[in-house]
Amino acid sequence: MPWTLNNYPSSMKNLNHVTKKKAIDIANSMIDEGYEEGQAIPIAMEQAKEWRQNADEDEVDSYEKNGNTIERSEEGKKYESNPERLEEAEHVIAHNDGWAVKSSNAQRASDVFDNKNDAVERAREIANNKGTSLKIYKQDGSIQENHSY
């Protein structure tokens, strides 16, 4: 469930309105990318604060009026997301720090694990939840296995 200005993590309660709105948008995007809530929330808050410090007033005003945060409908079910992310396969690939889980077109990994089994387990969970596929690669970059969910 995405966060909104009416329903957001309590750790964001002391942020000013526009910074909170930006933090919610960043956190929702990170969750869509596969980040865990515990990772997404503090990163989103820091990035939103940094954005606010560096943004000029025109940018802040424009974002406050036209930013991405979606208000939930009365049913609580209508919200925008990144539907194209839901179609993407998950990949387990070799990474400098172990094994990474990454969506097909993502710029960076959503998770990195020390061992391949943990990465495969997480990627399988994501792919299964999205109803897409999973590609597991060998250390040399060749495909080891393909799974569809």
- pLDDT single digits (tens) 47-83: 999 989 988 888 888 878 776 554 433 333 333 444 5
User: What is the model's pTM?
Assistant: 0.47
138 occurs within a structural domain: yes
The whole-chain average pLDDT of the chain stands at: 83
Beta bridge pairs of residue 146: 135
Number of domains in the chain: 2
Domain hosting 54: range is: 10-66
| Shared-domain flag, residues 99 and 45 | no
The two tokens of residue 109 are 């990994």
Same domain, residue pair 46 and 92: no
Q: Is residue 75 assigned to a domain?
A: no
The full length of the chain comes to 149
- Give the pLDDT band (50/70/90) at residue 1: low
Query: Do residues 62 and 88 share a domain?
Result: no
Residue 71 region by backbone torsions, left for phi larger than 0, else alpha for psi between -120 and 50, else beta: beta
Tell me whether residue 71 is in a domain: no
DSSP letter at 111 equals E
pLDDT score recorded for residue 134: 93
Q: Is the pLDDT of residue 97 over 60?
A: yes
Which residue has 């990318």 as its token pair?
A: 33
Q: Count of alpha carbons within 13 Å of 89, Cβ hemisphere only?
A: 13
At residue 86, the pLDDT reads 61
How far does Cα 113 stand from its chain's mean position? 17
Q: Does residue 103 have a pLDDT over 80?
A: yes
Residues 60 and 91 in one domain: no
- Neighbouring C-beta atoms of residue 100, cutoff 10 Å: 21
Last residue within a domain, chosen from 23, 39, 66:
66
* SS3 state of residue 106: coil
CB of 105 within 8 A of CB of 32? no
pLDDT confidence band for 132 (50 / 70 / 90): confident
Asked whether residue 72 is assigned to any structural domain, the reply reads no
Whether the pLDDT of residue 84 is over 80: the answer is no
- 113 — pLDDT class (breaks 50, 70, 90): very high
Q: Which residue, among 18, 114, 98, has the nearest Cα to 57 in the 3D structure?
A: 18
14-46 pLDDT tens trace: 999 999 999 998 888 888 888 888 888 999 999
